[in-house]
Structure 1
Amino acid sequence: MANHPAAEIFVDTHLVQRLLREQHPSLADEPLLPVANGWDNYIFRLGADHAVRLPRRVSAAQLTANEQQWLPGLTSNLPVATSAPVLAGRPSEAFPWPWNITRWFDGVEVSLQPRDRNTALANQLAGFLNVFHQPAPPGFPYNAVRGVPLEERNDAVRDRLASGMVPHAARVRELWEAGLKLPPWPGPALWLHGDLHPGNLVGTADGSTLQAVIDFGDLTAGDPATDLAAAWLVFDQNGRSAFRAALGSQYDGDPCVWGRAQAWAVCMASALLSNSDDHPGMYLLGSETLMEILTDVPDWL
């Protein structure tokens, strides 16, 4: 069944305008339009160039704080634009949690275009990861569901596969169990986006350019295979081959990284299929990703 969490605070344009007047008055008179009410954030478009993102619940407030603390430094030299905070909002009497003002991107969510068009984005997404996947310092934000050893996600994945919500569950379980047998990432904990699916990628209208990587709420560090699951979440077979080739030799020191990446794709696809029956777009993403996994012809073995 769907598991869309209820908002713990109601946010409307009047509240956002109050926050802007109090903390960023130079933007307070810009037109303001609500555009999304997701799992973690309310999103408003602010004028032509900005967006305002406010947590819907207390658990997401810490994710916003992580973005404020880490993203400005992590994203300053990336080859692709991001939703890193442009201006930070602080907790106040009007709103108890941190909130952000980010850039607004006029492109198209990559999840809305056919997968065969995404091959054009392979080089750019690989370039983003090759720069972003750097060793993280002590004190990086811990995330219990991203970047961790696969064994720590085993109970959740098995529950989803037993739920009846995941097609071809027996074969999917075999692939998952194969991933569990692989050795863990041998290197240092690398910075991870943590939720690198096509709904968090913005492309140009013609599909030729990756305009931005957005929503770093799952920012953490650990096994890069977590982000490399994008090979199945974003691409078809041709796109996967192009994506892997564009990454070059960065992960060659770990011959099992792509096997674990496929297992991470199983983990994420099963979550989408089990929890998105009230969100047809995310359910479709889970279904398409599962078919890519099941029909894949691995080129890394």
Structure 2
Amino acid sequence: MTGTPDIAPVLPPADLPVDLRRVELLCAWLRPEEGVELERISWAIGKRPRGEGWDNVLWPIGTLDGAPLVLRIARRRSSRALLGREVTVLRRLRGLGTTLPMDLPRVIATAEDAVAVEWIDGVTAAECDAATQEQVAEDLARMLATIHSGPAPEVGRNPVRGVPLATRAEHFAADLGRAGLDEDAARRAAETWQAGVGAEEWQGRELLLHGDPHPGNVVVPPPASPGAVTLIDWGDTTRGDPASDLGGLLLHPSASSAGLLDLYRASAAWTGIEDDAIWEALQARARAWATRMALGLVLVYPEEHPLGRTGRRLLAS
């Protein structure tokens, strides 16, 4: 949705190669969303992608009513199902008629292994100044509270989000060992993780989760732009323990992580949020998830990358 930073992450290899021929075929197979007329698209398929991420390639395909369009195409077999989950949840959230604290990507059409969406101009929250980052963090706290408090559609389970922390213990230990943290940072990370694992597990209903709301998945429009801050990349959406989403929230710089979680609590309306024991356990699990996610960022992104800095900042605090 945004320009790719010059310092690229180390992406897993693509086992679904994306080239111009595949893009042209997918465009021919697109099925429009309700209310969309594909005949109104001014087709201008680019010669090369506009960006590439962990799971998808973004390829420019033209405009609709003046709005640039990109085709999000699965670049790995394992990411095929993620696009379907994303479309399911975005349709549901837009259909609720609820005013959300953040905008959502607009799906234009779908095809096998691909989704056409409006391009969202801007930069990620990870690239913004401190004041903007803090405002984004507060908006995201309200956004997650709204999403968690609503109905949860049937979507496939994500094996690494919304699950009990204990199921990720082996991976945490391996990542901590590979991260190369100094002794104090490694000790803090291990203590935070153990506190989360030791907290009472989630016993409530399975809430709808974004799955990966880190600062790279929030797009901030350019100054003076009429666009809204948008929460993107819903491919990891799932149902389960909200602590993993709150771990992603804690990756966003804020004056006070406790204040950010309190803002979430004041905005949420799921059953049990008012119970202090449930809330204390949730906070402990959220901080453990934040540590787990920060390790992942440190291992994937170089120090000069905005998300690399995000992970290192949290682990150093």
- Does residue 248 in structure 1 map to residue 266 in structure 2? yes
Which secondary structure does the structure 2 equivalent of 1:86 belong to? strand
Q: Could you tell me which amino acid in structure 1 is paired with residue 25 of structure 2?
A: R
CA apart distance, 1:35: 1.5
RMSD of aligned residue pairs (Cα, Å): 2.7
From 230, 234, 251, the equivalent of 1:233 is 251
Corresponding residue of 2:91: 72
Alpha-carbon deviation of 1:10? 2.0
2:266 partner letter? G
Match of 2:58 among 40, 43, 56: 43
Q: Are the aligned partners of 1:3 and 1:275 in contact in 2 as well (CA < 8 Å)?
A: yes
Question: Is 2:37 aligned against 1:19?
Answer: no
Partners of 1:181 and 1:125 lie apart in 2 by 27
1:30 lines up with 2:44 in the alignment = yes
1:116 & 1:259 partners in 2: Cα distance?
A: 27
1-structure distance, mates of 2:42, 2:24: 6
Aligned partner of 2:3 in structure 1 is: none
Structure 2 match to 1:81? 103
Please state how far the C-alpha of 1:153 moved relative to its aligned partner: 0.9
Per the TM alignment, residue 23 of structure 1 is displaced from its structure 2 partner at its CA by 3.1
| Paired letter, 1:30 | A
Q: Does 1:221 align with 2:235?
A: no
Ranges in structure 1 where 5+ consecutive residues have no aligned partner: 91-97, 295-301
Identify which range, 148-157 or 98-107, moves more after superposition.
98-107
1:284 aligns with 2:309: yes
Equivalent residue for 2:34? none
Deviates more, 1:81-90 or 1:214-223: 81-90
1:130-169 equivalences in 2 (<5 Å):
130-133=145-148, 134-137=150-153, 139-167=154-182, 168-169=185-186
1:277 deviation in Å? 4.0
Q: Distance in 1 between matches of 2:288 and 2:244?
A: 9
SS in 1 for 2:22: helix
Q: How far apart are the structure 2 equivalents of 1:37 and 1:188?
A: 35
- The 1:248/1:121 distance shift into structure 2, 3 A limit, reads same
Q: Deviation string for 1:55-100 (max 9, x for gaps)? A: 001100011122233331134335122125331113xxxxxxx210
CA drift of 1:163 comes to 2.0
C-alpha change, 1:165 and 1:107, in structure 2 (3 Å) is same
Distance in 1, Cα, partners of 2:264 & 2:160: 27
Q: What's the CA shift for 1:240?
A: 5.7
Aligned pairs for 1:108-147 (under 5 A) are: 108-133=123-148, 134-137=150-153, 139-147=154-162
The C-alpha deviation readout for 1:121-158, integer Å capped at 9, x for no partner, is: 24422332122113535x43111100001111111011
Match of 1:269 among 269, 272, 294: 294
| Worse overlay, 110-119 or 49-58 | 110-119
Per the alignment, residue 4 of structure 2 pairs with: none
Provide Cα deviations, 1:26-51, integer angstroms capped at 9, x if missing partner.
33623536221111000123433322
SS of the residue 1:265 aligns to: helix
TM-score, normalising length: structure 1: 0.83
Residue 169 of structure 1, CA deviation: 1.0
Q: Is the 8 A contact 1:117 1:207 kept in 2?
A: no
Asked whether the equivalents of residues 206 and 241 of structure 2 are also in contact (C-alpha less than 8 Å), the reply is yes
Paired residues of 2:86 and 2:237 also in contact (CA < 8 A): yes
Between 1:216-225 and 1:25-34, the stretch displaced more is: 25-34
Work out the number of aligned pairs and report it: 283
Structure 2 CA distance for partners of 1:22 and 1:210, relative to 1, 3 Å: closer
- Distance in 1 of aligned mates of 2:25 and 2:58: 16
Question: Taking structure 1 as reference, are residues 210 and 258 closer, same or farther at Cα in structure 2, changes over 3 Å only?
Answer: farther
1:4 aligns with 2:19: no
TM-score when scaled to structure 2?
Answer: 0.80
Please give the alpha-carbon distance, in whole angstroms, between the structure 2 residues aligned to 1:78 and 1:13. 38
